[in-house]
Amino acid sequence: MKIDFTINGIPKTVDVPENMPLLWVVRDVLEMKGTKFGCGQAACGACTVHLDGEAIRSCSFAVQYAQGKYITTIEGLSKEGKLHPVQQAWIEEIVPQCGYCQPGFMMSVANLLDKIPNPTDEEIDDNITNICRCGTYYRMRKAIHRAAELNRS
Amino acid sequence: MLVIRCSETRTSNNEIRKQKSEYQKTNIEYRNYMGKKSINRRGFILKTGVGLGVLLGVGVVACGPLRRTIAQKVVEGAPGYKNEYEAYIWFELQPDGSIILHSPKVEMGQGIFTALAQIAAEELEMDYHNIKVVHATTNHGPIDALSTGGSLTIPSLYQPLRELASTMREMIKINAAKLLGVPANTLALKNGEVIGSNAKLSFAEIATKSTEWHLKIENLVLKSKKDFTLIGKPIPRIDLVPKVKGETLFGIDSTFPNMLFGSVARPPVFGAVFKSAEAGNAANMPGVIKVIIEDNFAAVVATSRVQAEAAKKALKINWAMPDKLVQQADVEALVRVGVGKDVIIQKEGNTGILKDDNTFTKEYYSPLGAHAQIEPNGSAAFYQNGKVVVKMSTQVAKITRDEVAKALKIDAENVDIQSQYLGGGFGRRLQTSHAIEAALMSKSVGKPVHVFFERSEEFQNGVLRPPTHNILKAKLDANGTIEAIEHHTASADVAFNSTLLANIFKPLSSSVAESLVGADFGAWRGGMIQYKNIKNYSTTAYHKELPFQTSWWRGLGLLANTFAIESFMDELAHHSKQDSLAFRLKHLSDDARGNSIKNVLKAVCEKSGWGKSLPEGHGMGLACSIDVNTPVAQVAEVEIKNGQIKVKKVTCAIDPGIIINPDGVKAQVEGAIIMGLSATLFEEVTVKDGLATPNAFGFYPMAYLRDAPQIEVVLLSTGESPRGVGEPPIGPIGAAIANAVFNLTGKRLNRIPLQSYMT
């Protein structure tokens, strides 16, 4: 099935099985590897992308529903060569260890800050439900607050 | 381009002991090649006799203490292992003056690439930004014959890397002297330049203008600790920006042009063995390139992953099923103190004074656990003309290479394992069967093939952390001093039955290796009594194999054994109405090891305000451990809300010796605490009808951001060399939390996961 969408500002047409998860279209067909496979069941958030401004878990999202939509992946998070405030905060707080889950986290956090510019700890806890196994959470929380601060300035 | 190779000769047991003095006897030859054509076959060879090398225990008659020595070597900081002659490329000086450093150890988040760059740049007197650290492939660069693990990377590479880097520094200096026409001893290196009184040359100029590299270095002088300008600095990790941009490629991200996707039939339950298969309708399904059915293997290769998966389900596979499906009760009956082979691993004095009527006895349990690294295992292989390249995440590149070679019946040098960044390791990537699968499929279809483990297969067909059962017994005298203490620790395979153990002791069979080692040193890691101021103490390890594979997990037995010992110490202190800190201090010896533990205990109590009054509803718990000679103490502060244990803060003091990067050490401590907290509070796999349960994220409960405490780390640094960091801080966390819950509520939780036993 032919499906059209715009990804990181670039229009694309793919010809793939309609039930193929968006994740595998992004990774295997478009060969953009920043969006990660973790669990295949929308439980860990490693595959998080933005679809028309909403954070979705692309491993459990059939590509047919992306028809005509605007998708942003980690590769498109920075604009015009400038890092997104979330990425900038991630660098300042030296968050990543292995780094594998981090794109999904940053996509989730960027979306959270779009909706709640200055989240409380409780709002962060309720909204950021990705999984990091290296245990970078402590720095991550600091980075989320820092990103909110960068957004304000 | 200048390349330094380091090769090693066969090492013997005696050489292990002499290793340090060998560092001084470095015998150096060298060779030069410029450009692509004029490769001089006698090129740079740096014979250090060190590198990664220690040979362990082959042909040694085993006895108790020696067994322990052997196991200790593997567990507690032996600098790796090497038993073959191979030439290694470590450094490449590029025409632009930058240096490529080929790391034999893999980056799985521990920050070693950064630390290695710091160590090398320190001796090379250059900007660390100009050192590009890459994974050595098995065909190019140093091969690590052991594994990346055991918290050994920095302890094992610190000295050899400094020697190699300083050798290179001298080579550069000598060539600069020639180019400038001045004596080498009038030159100094600074910021990637060689500076003389009247002129200077950049590394780039030296690299491009030199036509030959002659050198004989004697009395290699390494920088002294007081002159370090980069070692000890908290520089940001060098892989930080690519990781934040999502550019870093991990094993599962590997591709080749025109790559196909494979899906492999893996056993549906523990104990099931492949017998035969029929293609059924699979071959006719959309996208299918080939159905592969071999003696012990059935798979589908297709143009997309979803098509391969769908077609695999259409295969008709005949599994030889086990007589009886494994159940949780079987697991619990097998892993129990008193069951299986028992080996005394530690004995001092006589614990025979412990009698039923005078002894304080407690027991502790931990369950099966999963690594649950976020990157599932996956690899891409391309077989062409009798050679295969595999790109993947592995902690054991050489073992993976040898296994692929054996499966494909080709020589090991025809297999190139190209390690990528690891999306977490934690011991899971010591088993790399998917490399064989990808290579077999690529050979069968003549094109590159990618394969990976579904998350459910990670649980069912990967390996699990074994469960444990510990019993501790002690007798206190009238002063509340421990007269005798006995520790009994039961577990299933960690090191035993692992390819890593078999490789360490090659060519011995694994059963001979196991009898040499005695007890499974992975299982009893952290299980020895460290309170040496007690007159009578002993530890006995019990081992029983389970009907499915259990193996290495971050820290191995350290978390469970420390949970038992340190919970017990708190129970004893409470029982005899003594302060937890004072009780520990008085039972630690006054030697260097005992004092190192006392120091971290005192430091953590000072920083956390141990004994201070806490907010209503808060409680603190203390615990300590020593692993790979790195002492760690932690204080956990908890509160309980609606029956949920909430860890508010963890304070940790650690003494890892020389610290290469303080921020990297702190990150490892924070990570170990959170991973250990997750395992302690939430995680459990049980077995039902031969199935690992649960087998999915979301159902396997792990710590989320909301569960992470505030963490404060106190770094101590004593000694003249670096010790391990990756695993030691996972030791005390379980007991620190359990002790805090007890101090707050009076409820003693003796089973991990604690949260499951709160009600």
What pLDDT score was predicted for residue B105?
A: 93
Amino acid letter at B220? L
Contact between B697 and A28 using a beta-carbon 8 Å cutoff: no
Q: B710-715 and B644-654: which strand pairing?
A: parallel
What pLDDT score was predicted for residue B594?
A: 98
Q: How far is B597 from chain A (nearest CA, A)?
A: 25
Q: How far is CA B104 from CA B40, B116, B524, in A?
A: 24, 11, 28
Is A34 within 8 Å of chain B by CB?
Answer: yes
What pLDDT score was predicted for residue B59?
A: 17
pLDDT surpassing 80 at residue B208: yes
d(CA B36, CA B26): 29
d(CA B627, CA B731): 8
User: How would you class B352 by CB atoms within 10 Å of its CB: exposed for 0-12, middle for 13-18, buried for 19 or more?
Assistant: exposed
Whether residue B605 contacts residue B635, with contact meaning beta carbons closer than 8 Å, is answered with: yes
Q: How far is A95 from chain B (nearest CA, A)?
A: 8
pLDDT surpassing 50 at residue A132: yes
Whether residue A38 contacts residue B376, with contact meaning beta carbons closer than 8 Å, is answered with: yes
**Where residue B213 falls among pLDDT bands split at 50, 70, 90?**
low
Contact between B261 and A94 using a beta-carbon 8 Å cutoff: no
d(CA B187, CA B176): 8
In chain A, what percentage of residues exceed pLDDT 70? 100
What pLDDT score was predicted for residue B41?
A: 23
**Where residue B234 falls among pLDDT bands split at 50, 70, 90?**
very high
d(CA A54, CA A20): 20
Contact between B304 and A16 using a beta-carbon 8 Å cutoff: yes
Phi, psi of B649 (to 5 degrees): -150, 145
**Where residue B509 falls among pLDDT bands split at 50, 70, 90?**
confident
d(CA B672, CA B703): 12
B625-679, pLDDT tens digit by residue?
999 999 999 999 999 999 999 999 999 999 999 999 999 999 999 999 999 999 9
Q: Of residues B313 and B513, which shows the higher confidence score?
A: B313
What pLDDT score was predicted for residue B362?
A: 98
d(CA B196, CA B176): 9
B250-273, pLDDT tens digit by residue?
999 999 999 999 999 999 999 999
What pLDDT score was predicted for residue B217?
A: 63
B49-68, pLDDT tens digit by residue?
222 222 111 112 222 333 33
Q: B482-491 and B710-715: which strand pairing?
A: unpaired
Amino acid letter at B221? V
Top residue of A108, A130, A137 to mutate, by most chain B CBs within 10 Å, is: A137
What is the Rg, in whole angstroms, of the alpha carbon atoms belonging to chain B? 27
d(CA B400, CA B383): 15
Residue A8 CB neighbour total at 10 angstroms = 18
- The β-bridge partners of B471 are B363, B488
d(CA B208, CA B369): 54
Q: How far is CA B71 from CA B501, B504, B516, in A?
A: 11, 11, 9
Q: Which of residues 72-111 of A touch B (CB under 8 A)?
A: 73-75, 77-78, 83, 87, 90-91, 94-103, 106
Q: Quote the mean pLDDT of chain B.
A: 87
pLDDT surpassing 50 at residue B396: yes
How many residues are listed for chain A in this entry? 153
Contact between A135 and B678 using a beta-carbon 8 Å cutoff: yes
Whether residue B657 contacts residue B630, with contact meaning beta carbons closer than 8 Å, is answered with: yes
Q: How far is A149 from chain B (nearest CA, A)?
A: 18
pLDDT surpassing 80 at residue B74: no
Question: Quick check: bond before B728 cis, omega within 30?
Answer: no
**Where residue B86 falls among pLDDT bands split at 50, 70, 90?**
very low
What pLDDT score was predicted for residue B471?
A: 98
For B109, which of A33, A94, A99 is closest by C-beta distance?
A: A99
Contact between A106 and B244 using a beta-carbon 8 Å cutoff: yes
pLDDT mean over B141-168: 85
Prediction ipTM score? 0.98
In chain B, what percentage of residues exceed pLDDT 90? 75
d(CA B311, CA B480): 68
If you count DSSP H runs as helices and E runs as strands, how many of each does chain A have, helices first? 5, 5
d(CA B172, CA B176): 6
**Contacts (Cβ under 8 Å, ≥6 apart) of B384:** none
Q: Of residues B142 and B202, which shows the higher confidence score?
A: B202
Q: Of residues B48 and B642, which shows the higher confidence score?
A: B642
A3-50, pLDDT tens digit by residue?
999 999 999 999 999 999 999 999 999 999 999 999 999 999 999 999
Q: How far is CA B483 from CA A65, B350, B475, B540, B587, in A?
A: 71, 10, 6, 18, 10
**Which residues on chain B are in Cβ contact (under 8 Å) with A99?**
109, 239, 243, 248, 421, 423
**Which residues on chain B are in Cβ contact (under 8 Å) with A73?**
246
- The β-bridge partners of B636 are B621, B650
pLDDT mean over B269-286: 96
Is A70 within 8 Å of chain B by CB?
Answer: no
Residue B407, classed as helix, strand or coil, is: helix
B219: left (phi over 0), alpha (psi -120 to 50) or beta: left
- The β-bridge partners of B278 are B316
pLDDT mean over A107-114: 98
Across the beta sheet with A2-7, what order do the strands follow?
A10-15, A2-7, A70-72, A48-51, A54-57
**Taking the C-alpha atoms of B522, B524, B525 and B526 in order, what is their torsion angle to the nearest 10 degrees?**
160
Alpha helices in B76-222 (DSSP H): 112-124, 153-180, 203-209
d(CA B153, CA B161): 11
pLDDT surpassing 70 at residue B230: yes
What pLDDT score was predicted for residue B161?
A: 87
What pLDDT score was predicted for residue B514?
A: 83
**Which residues on chain A are in Cβ contact (under 8 Å) with B697?**
38-39, 41, 43-44, 131
What pLDDT score was predicted for residue B216?
A: 57
Please enumerate, as own/partner, the contacts of A8-12 that have beta carbons within 8 Å and a separation of 24 or more: A8/A71, A8/A72, A8/A73, A8/A75, A8/A76, A9/A76
What pLDDT score was predicted for residue B218?
A: 65
pLDDT surpassing 60 at residue B333: yes
Tokens 């998070």, residue located: A77
- The β-bridge partners of B537 are B348, B485
Q: At what angle do helices B433-445 and B397-408 cross, to 10 degrees?
A: 40
In chain B, what percentage of residues exceed pLDDT 70? 87
For B455, which of A24, A41, A83 is closest by C-beta distance?
A: A41
pLDDT surpassing 80 at residue B700: yes
**Which residues on chain A are in Cβ contact (under 8 Å) with B727?**
none
